[in-house]
A and B are shown apart, each in its own frame.
Chain A
Amino acid sequence: MATPLRPSISPDTEFFWNGLRERLLFIQRCSSCGALRHPPRPMCPHCLSTEWDTIESAGRGTVHSFVMPQHPQFPFMDYPYIVALIDLAEGIRLVSNLIGIEPENAWIDMPVEVCFTEFDDGFVLHQFRPEER
Chain B
Amino acid sequence: MSGLSGRAAIVGIGQTEFSKDSGRTELQLACEAVRAALADAGVTPADVDGLVTFSQDTTEEMELGRNLGFDEITMFSRITYGGGAAAATVQQAAMAITSGAAECVVVYRAFNERSGLRFGNFGGSLSTMPLWLSWYAPFGLLSPASWIAVHARRYMHEYGVTNADFGRIAVVDRHHASTNPNAWFYGRPITIDDHQASPWVVEPVVRLLDCCQESDGGVALVITSAERARDLPQPPAIITAAAQGATGDAEMMTSYYRDTVTGLPEIGLVGRQLWQQSGLSPADIDTAFLYDHFTPFVFVQLEELGFCGLGEAKEFATIERLSVGGELPINTSGGLLGEAYIHGMNGITEVVRQIRGTAVNQVNDVEHALVTAGTGVPTSGLILSRD
Query: Which of A's residues lie within 8 Å of B, judged by CB?
Result: 4-10, 13, 38-39, 45, 64-72, 74-77, 81, 83, 85, 92-97, 103, 108, 125
Determine if A8 and B131 form an interchain contact, defined as CB atoms under 8 angstroms apart: yes
Task: List chain A residues, Cβ under 8 A from B141.
Answer: 69, 83, 95
Complex Cα gap A5–B257 (Å): 23
**B349 CB–A CB distance under 8 Å:** no
Q: Which of A5, A65, A108 contacts B123 (CB 8 A)?
A: A5
Q: Which of A7, A66, A83 contacts B140 (CB 8 A)?
A: A83
Known: A83-B150, A93-B257, A95-B136. 18 other contacts (CB 8 A): A4-B140, A5-B126, A7-B138, A8-B128, A10-B131, A38-B257, A39-B132, A64-B261, A65-B150, A67-B149, A67-B153, A69-B145, A71-B200, A74-B140, A77-B140, A83-B146, A92-B257, A95-B141
Stretch at the interface among B37-45, B174-182, B201-209, B237-245: B201-209
**B199 CB–A CB distance under 8 Å:** yes
Q: Please name the residue on chain B nearest to A7 by beta carbon.
A: B134
Determine if B199 and A70 form an interchain contact, defined as CB atoms under 8 angstroms apart: yes
Task: List chain B residues, Cβ under 8 A from A94.
Answer: 135
Determine if B157 and A65 form an interchain contact, defined as CB atoms under 8 angstroms apart: yes
User: 19 pairs across A/B with beta carbons < 8 Å?
Assistant: A5-B123, A5-B142, A7-B138, A45-B248, A64-B261, A65-B150, A65-B261, A67-B149, A67-B203, A68-B202, A69-B146, A70-B200, A70-B201, A71-B199, A83-B140, A85-B261, A95-B135, A97-B139, A125-B139
Task: List chain A residues, Cβ under 8 A from B23.
Answer: none
Task: List chain A residues, Cβ under 8 A from B137.
Answer: 4-5, 7
Known: A72-B121, A95-B139. A65 touches B126 (CB 8 A): no
Q: How far is the CB of A16 from chain B (nearest CB, A)?
A: 9
Q: Please name the residue on chain B nearest to A119 by beta carbon.
A: B138
Q: Please name the residue on chain B nearest to A39 by beta carbon.
A: B135
Q: How far is the CB of A61 from chain B (nearest CB, A)?
A: 14
Determine if A8 and B139 form an interchain contact, defined as CB atoms under 8 angstroms apart: no
Determine if B150 and A67 form an interchain contact, defined as CB atoms under 8 angstroms apart: yes
Determine if B151 and A65 form an interchain contact, defined as CB atoms under 8 angstroms apart: yes
Q: How far is the CB of A100 from chain B (nearest CB, A)?
A: 15
Task: List chain B residues, Cβ under 8 A from A97.
Answer: 139-140
Query: Which of B's residues lie within 8 Å of A, judged by CB?
Result: 120-121, 123-124, 126, 128-143, 145-146, 149-151, 153-154, 157, 199-205, 208, 248-249, 254, 256-257, 261
Q: How far is the CB of B197 from chain A (nearest CB, A)?
A: 15
Determine if A69 and B138 form an interchain contact, defined as CB atoms under 8 angstroms apart: no
Give the A-B pair count, Cβ closer than 8 A.
116
Known: A77-B140, A85-B256. A70 touches B131 (CB 8 A): no
Determine if B135 and A72 form an interchain contact, defined as CB atoms under 8 angstroms apart: no
Task: List chain A residues, Cβ under 8 A from B133.
Answer: 8
Most chain B Cβ neighbours within 10 Å, of A8, A10, A69 = A69
Determine if A108 and B140 form an interchain contact, defined as CB atoms under 8 angstroms apart: no
Known: A5-B129, A6-B129, A65-B154. A83 touches B139 (CB 8 A): yes
Task: List chain A residues, Cβ under 8 A from B150.
Answer: 65-67, 83, 85, 95
Determine if B134 and A96 form an interchain contact, defined as CB atoms under 8 angstroms apart: no
Determine if B208 and A71 form an interchain contact, defined as CB atoms under 8 angstroms apart: yes
Complex Cα gap A89–B26 (Å): 49
Q: How far is the CB of B156 from chain A (nearest CB, A)?
A: 9
Complex Cα gap A72–B141 (Å): 11
Known: A68-B202, A71-B201. A6 touches B138 (CB 8 A): yes
Complex Cα gap A110–B201 (Å): 24
Task: List chain A residues, Cβ under 8 A from B131.
Answer: 8, 10, 13
Q: Which of B124, B145, B199, B200 contacts A75 (CB 8 A)?
A: B124
Q: How far is the CB of A59 from chain B (nearest CB, A)?
A: 16
Task: List chain A residues, Cβ under 8 A from B151.
Answer: 65
Determine if B200 and A72 form an interchain contact, defined as CB atoms under 8 angstroms apart: no
Known: A72-B120, A95-B135. A7 touches B129 (CB 8 A): yes
Complex Cα gap A83–B146 (Å): 9
Task: List chain A residues, Cβ under 8 A from B204.
Answer: 67-68
Determine if A72 and B138 form an interchain contact, defined as CB atoms under 8 angstroms apart: no
Q: How far is the CB of B371 from chain A (nearest CB, A)?
A: 29
Task: List chain B residues, Cβ under 8 A from A69.
Answer: 140-141, 143, 145-146, 149, 201-202
Complex Cα gap A13–B133 (Å): 13
Determine if B202 and A67 form an interchain contact, defined as CB atoms under 8 angstroms apart: yes
Please name the 9 residue pairs, one residue from A and one from B, whose CB atoms are nearest each other, closest first. A7-B134, A65-B154, A68-B203, A77-B140, A8-B129, A69-B146, A4-B138, A67-B149, A5-B137
Determine if A108 and B139 form an interchain contact, defined as CB atoms under 8 angstroms apart: no
Task: List chain B residues, Cβ under 8 A from A103.
Answer: 203
Complex Cα gap A62–B157 (Å): 14
Task: List chain B residues, Cβ under 8 A from A4.
Answer: 137-140
Task: List chain B residues, Cβ under 8 A from A93.
Answer: 256-257
